[in-house]
Amino acid sequence: MLIKKGTPLEPIVVDDLWKSYSGRGKEILALREINFNVSEGEILGILGPNGAGKTTLSLIISGLLKPSRGTVFIMGEDIRRLKRRVCEKYITLYLTGYMNLEQGFIRLPAIKYLEMLAAINCIRGNIREKATEVLRAVGLLAWKDEWPARFSSGMQRKLMLAEILMNDKPCIVLDEPTIHLDPLSCMEIWAVLKKLKDDGKTILLTTQNMEEAEYLCDRIIFLKREMITSGSPKDLKGLVQKYDRIMIKVRGRYSEFRSEIEKIEGVTEVDEIKDDSTIVVKAIKGSLKPKRLVELSSSSGTEILSLTYEEPTLSDVFRMLVGSEASEHKSGA
């Protein structure tokens, strides 16, 4: 359980949150019994498959969607009373797929675009200086005098993130902020988020990018309508430490070698990367030693070019947890 009872002044406290939708004569459960908190200067990641409830959770926390049961406290205040004023007072929200640039300003220079939004939102201080800083932070300073209307979709996404940085609210909710961005752009955004964390901002990040989650998040919740598990990236990867993931690059009688591996007790999964002549084996830890693989390769007429025992990744945890959940739901249907 992540929630710390008796600490309502944690920036974000989610307390027994449920959300369901009614339609066509049936009720659809979107979120069930969600409890967690996010501390000042912390990045909490929410990971889950499509339809897991990540965006629904973001909308409820931001006061834009009413929970069916339970509540959320933002800086000690109940969202049921604050409603949409949550975003006015405490939260800056970035919602991929729902947010667009302000069309009335997209034929102004990018720096003027940010200045206009700052004026509308009553942001104080040296607005020109702040706009310059955030454009630099998201990698758009070289295009400060260009129209956002002419930006690529990735550049427009960065400009929307720059809008977030113009605000000085204590909490930030980001729903898949780097989806469809190229790797370099992702790294630029990650650096910005790390800086915001260091400055004491409280950040809730939903993502399906495992590399992003591992790099940024202090803690992670795996969500599939309910909380499957939670912990630090290191702790979560420990859940799959009972398995070895073995990468075997081979040359020769590929299929026969794979068939022999599949017969070994303790081997749970065998896949191929055909373009790379690589076999990927998942086996109970210690059940498949390098010596055994060398013996099998020799007897099957296969040459092992490289053999690597890999450390588990968050993707491995995701597949294990979400896959097992899916199987349970299917068997119980």
pLDDT tens digit string along 16-63?
999 999 877 788 899 999 999 999 999 999 999 888 999 999 999 999
Which pLDDT value is given to residue 111?
94
If you average pLDDT over every residue of the chain, what do you get?
A: 86
Q: Which two tokens stand for residue 19?
A: 């959300």
Which pLDDT value is given to residue 310?
81
pLDDT digits (tens, 9 = 90+) for 90-110: 999 988 766 677 787 889 999
Which pLDDT value is given to residue 99?
67
Which pLDDT value is given to residue 8?
55
Q: Which fold has domain 242-311?
A: Alpha-Beta Plaits (3.30.70)
pLDDT digits (tens, 9 = 90+) for 80-93: 999 989 988 999 99
Where does the pLDDT of residue 328 fall: very low under 50, low under 70, confident under 90, or very high at 90 and above? Answer: very low
Where does the pLDDT of residue 233 fall: very low under 50, low under 70, confident under 90, or very high at 90 and above? Answer: very high
Q: Decide if pLDDT at 253 tops 90.
A: no
Mark 306-328 as b/e (b = at least 16 C-beta within 10 Å): eeeeeebbbebbbebbbeebeee
Which pLDDT value is given to residue 98?
66
Cα–Cα distance for residue pair 89/66, rounded to 1 Å: 18
Q: What is the CA radius of gyration of the chain?
A: 24
- Please indicate whether the domains covering 12-90+169-235 and 242-311 agree at the CATH topology level: no
Superfamily name with CATH number, domain 12-90+169-235: P-loop containing nucleotide triphosphate hydrolases (3.40.50.300)
Q: Which of 30-44, 240-254, 311-325 is most confident?
A: 30-44
Question: Letter for the amino acid at 290?
Answer: P
- Least trusted range by pLDDT, from 248-257, 296-305, 320-329: 320-329
Domain ranges of the chain: 12-90+169-235, 242-311
